[in-house]
Amino acid sequence: MNDRAVAERSGVGWFGKNTNILTPTHGSWVFLAEVVTDLELRPDPPLKKTCGECVRCIPACPTDAIVAPFVIDNRRCISFLTIELRGPIPLDLRPLMGDWVFGCDICQEVCPVNRKAAPSREMEFRKRHDFDAPELIPLLSLDEEGFRQRFNGSPIRRAKLAGLQRNVCVALGNIGDTVAVPALARALYSDEALVRSHAAWALGQIGGETARGVLRTALLEEDDSDVAGEIRDALARVTSSS
- What is the predicted pLDDT for the residue at 134? 73
**pLDDT of 145 over the 80 cut:** yes
The CATH number of 131-242 is 1.25.10.10
Q: pLDDT tier at 115 (50, 70, 90 boundaries)?
A: confident
- The domain segmentation of the chain, as residue ranges, is 131-242
Give percent above pLDDT 70 in the chain. 95
Mean pLDDT of 163-190: 97
**pLDDT of 240 over the 70 cut:** no
User: pTM value?
Assistant: 0.89
3-state DSSP of the chain: CCHHHHHHHCCCCEECCCCCEEECCCECCCCCCCCCCCCCCCCCCCCCCCCCCCCCHHHHCCCCCEEECCEECCCCCHHHHHHHCCCCCCCCCHHHCCCCCCCCCHHHHCCHHHHCCCCCCCHHHCCCCCCCHHHHHHHHHCCHHHHHHHCCCCHHHHHHHHHHHHHHHHHHHHHCCHHHHHHHHHHCCCCCHHHHHHHHHHHHHHCCHHHHHHHHHHHHHCCCHHHHHHHHHHHHHHHHHC
Mean pLDDT of 55-70: 97
Mean pLDDT of 14-43: 93
Q: pLDDT tier at 89 (50, 70, 90 boundaries)?
A: very high
Mean pLDDT of 98-119: 91
**pLDDT of 241 over the 80 cut:** no
Mean pLDDT of 128-155: 85
Higher pLDDT, 105 or 125: 105
Q: pLDDT tier at 130 (50, 70, 90 boundaries)?
A: low
